[in-house]
Structure 1
């Protein structure tokens, strides 16, 4: 176990950096993360400042240099060329732009999604069928999943559907937290000349990765989940050598076609949020980055999964293969209505979780600890699941 992952005193000291509203124990930290007190304070200062200075600062300072430095720091976060990233409002917007503007499809081509993709990504790929005349292929992953079964599902699909040209792939699935074997799948896709658009919404900040090593050339990310930025911040990535394969967004002309920023809609952004990012990135590094954050939430995940998995009447849906899980994990009460059980977890035990639907295995309950979650919170979850499982 990485140093400090199970050190409650260390992590509760870190938890004090975050302001939390009294109430239920929040085990739905996968929706969006908290800003630290310091980030929140700076964000509010920037809101006041931009409101006072208005276009004078934005036109003279932000647009003339500050934004370039912030973009450079963003690129440094994932060790890529600054010319390969462009800010968006979230990962969804980034992924929609990549899918919408991908220009290598012809009528009759096939595109691939799985049951574990984010619903908006599925919708965008289906939109291609209506507008480009392509065929959407959807595969359902076997359950329980293993590293080999996940890879084999794609090998089988590639062999069965020879007209595949594009596929969506989620790094960390939002339903169960399953971590996909991205490098192995991308390699197999590349051998078939199939392009991959990676949904990295839940990966950035809790998993260490290198896009070049993964073999990924198109991706979308959030900054408001595990990085700790204000809401309204995400970004897209396009490998520079592949920029021409993504058209400027709906004829975007404010940047030249050779600029990745033309692949996003041109609009007035959340300047105060963007100006806060240098502090966000600095705090992320000070905490130990994805290595430390990931180790902590993985420890908390294992703390409850190891106790709950053996219980009759409970099915944990996420693999224990360390290559395939992160802090997010889902389970179900076998034979019970999962939304009813989520309601009971909240009403009877003060634990806030959420249901996820859409996967082949049905509705599940997603549990996501965060940086403010304690081992005592996790023990409360174990107690609640145990009690509800017998009632």
Structure 2
């Protein structure tokens, strides 16, 4: 980092500290999970959904009106001023955005870097990790993101290491998931690198990564946590995990524009990740941003991030968001749990779920089956969901409400499932 950047970073930290102190204050009113009038007021800050019941909010989040307005203004400035802004003023705004991001993450700005999405950050940290050699073991699970599983398999192949893939229990609970990892660690000689996913994008299970990371560290492994689906959906600070690396998204539950994510390296651990091949050759081994070389990208999402963080802090504190999302999830799950032929893939312990919960229809675990189910829900019932593949015991359908989803929206899903599941099960 140049002396000039270091000075601007110090100024940015001061701005972020002031903003986060103000943002930490309680919002004007806390909205109860079942206060539909209150959540309808929040909903008016987001785009209207149209005729389709949208229950696939796990891909990326809608920008609230203030964030979308800031994004439009930034795009206009980038288009109007181009290099005049980019080369003479934009770095100051980027430093401020980095400081604000770091404050939201609970880390120091110099220990984090930006990437365009969590998949990009995970790919870089995994494929460039230097702490694995021939004969070592690395470990991941069937619930991890597909691209990350592929990166782990590639790392094992490139370093002649052993890749261990854990199949998490079919009916996951906090205890049996910890036990599954503990058993895998016990049998993994020379375990050096472990990937954990906090909020899984398939079943919706929230994995107790704090406990599992501690077990992995005790076994001698370096730990990378993917919290792309959990950041700002559940309350935590990045260092809480006790891991060495963390990757997250800002375009999901922070509601920033698509194209902005971040990664964190525990102090002293950046040097174990090689500098990106396309980065400047004089980048220092400890320079965190050098692990993902962004080059010329769409700068607007990064520059709009402070506005998104302001909105979240002043309007949607994370505990209030989580309570609403769990309330909505329970609203549909409790009406169909026990329906013959339907498997709800996550239990009801609030520590193990957030917005996402997936289902599977008995005897219909193939990807094609689940594509067909999502197509039927969309074409016949005008309900948007998404199929997920890759679990050891088969594919499933994911349901993800948003904060402004209504119980009536979820009642439409319940009606559809009560009609569709017997029909398909007879099939």
TM-score (norm. length: structure 2): 0.88
Task: State whether residues 297 and 327 of structure 1, in contact with CA within 8 Å, keep that contact through their aligned partners in structure 2.
Answer: yes
Q: Tell me how far 1:348 sits from its aligned partner.
A: 1.7
Whether the 8 Å CA contact 2:343–2:361 is kept in 1: the answer is yes
Which residue of structure 1 aligns with residue 236 of structure 2?
A: 209
**2:363 corresponding residue in structure 1:** 335
Q: Secondary structure at the match of 1:250?
A: coil
1:389 aligns with 2:417: no
- Of 185, 191, 208 in structure 1, the residue corresponding to residue 212 of structure 2 is 185
Which of 134, 137, 140 is the aligned partner of 1:110? 137
Asked whether the equivalents of residues 87 and 236 of structure 1 are also in contact (C-alpha less than 8 Å), the reply is: yes
The 10-residue stretch of structure 1 (250-259 or 94-103) with the greater mean CA deviation from structure 2: 250-259
Q: How many residues get paired?
A: 389
Q: Is the 8 A contact 1:106 1:134 kept in 2?
A: yes
> What is the SS of the residue equivalent to 2:391?
coil
* Cross-structure match for 1:375: 407
The alpha-carbon deviation at position 21 of structure 1 amounts to: 4.4
Could you list the per-position Cα deviations for residues 111-134 of structure 1 after superposition, in whole angstroms to 9, with x for gaps in the alignment?
111111111001101111222111
The residue aligned with 1:175 is: 202
Alignment of 1:152-301 (within 5 A): 152-250=179-277, 252-253=279-280, 255-301=283-329
Output one character per residue of 1:48-75: Cα deviation in whole Å (capped at 9) or x when no partner.
1111101111111112x21111100000
Q: Establish whether residue 354 from structure 1 lines up as the match of residue 386 from structure 2.
A: yes
CA distance in 2, matches of 1:349, 1:370: 19
Query: Equivalent residue of 1:390, what SS?
Result: helix
Report if the CA contact (8 A) 1:83-1:240 is conserved.
no
Cα separation, 2, equivalents of 1:111 and 1:13: 48
User: Is the aligned partner of 1:306 residue 2:338?
Assistant: no
Aligned ranges for residues 60-71 of structure 1 at < 5 Å? 60-63=88-91, 65-71=92-98
Q: Are the equivalent residues in 2 in contact too, given 1:204–1:290 (CA < 8 A)? A: no
Contact kept in structure 1, 2:115 and 2:294, CA below 8 Å:
no
Please, which runs of 5 or more residues in structure 1 have no aligned partner?
Answer: none
Distance 1:292 1:329 in 2: 19
Q: Check the 8 A contact 1:255/1:261 in 2, yes or no.
A: no
Distance in 1 (CA, whole Å) between partners of 2:416 and 2:162 is: 46
Aligned residue among 27, 40, 43 for 2:55: 27
CA contact (8 A) 2:174 2:352 kept: yes
Matches within 5 A, 1:319-330: 319-330=347-358
How far residue 251 of structure 1 moved from its aligned partner, in angstroms, is 6.4
Task: Identify the residue that residue 68 of structure 2 maps to in structure 1.
Answer: 40
> Relative to structure 1, is the Cα distance of residues 147 and 109 closer, same or farther in structure 2, using a 3 angstrom cutoff?
same
Shift of 1:361: 2.0
Deviations 1:325-382 (A, max 9, x none): 1110001122343332222211221111111111012111100001221111011111
CA displacement, residues 253-273 of structure 1 (integer Å, 9 cap, x when unaligned): 264333211111140132222
CA contact (8 A) 1:91 1:234 kept: yes
Tell me how far apart the structure 2 counterparts of residues 197 and 305 of structure 1 sit (CA, whole Å): 31
1:142 alignment partner, one of 147, 150, 169: 169
- What is the DSSP-based 3-state SS (H/G/I as helix, E as strand, rest coil) of the residue aligned with 2:89? helix
Moved more, 175-184 or 269-278: 269-278
Deviates more, 1:336-345 or 1:126-135: 336-345
> How far apart, CA to CA, are the structure 2 residues paired with 1:360 and 1:126?
16
Moved over 3 A (4+): none
Q: Is the 8 A contact 2:326 2:350 kept in 1?
A: no
Stretches of structure 2 that go unaligned for 5 or more consecutive residues are 1-29
In the alignment, the residues of structure 2 paired with residue 151 and residue 21 of structure 1 have an alpha-carbon distance, to the nearest angstrom, of 39
Higher relative contact order (CA 8 A, sep 6+): 1
SS at match of 1:120: helix
RMSD: 1.5
Instruction: Supply the distance in 2 between the matched residues of 1:192 and 1:317 (Cα, whole angstroms).
Output: 30
CA shift for structure 1 position 281: 0.4
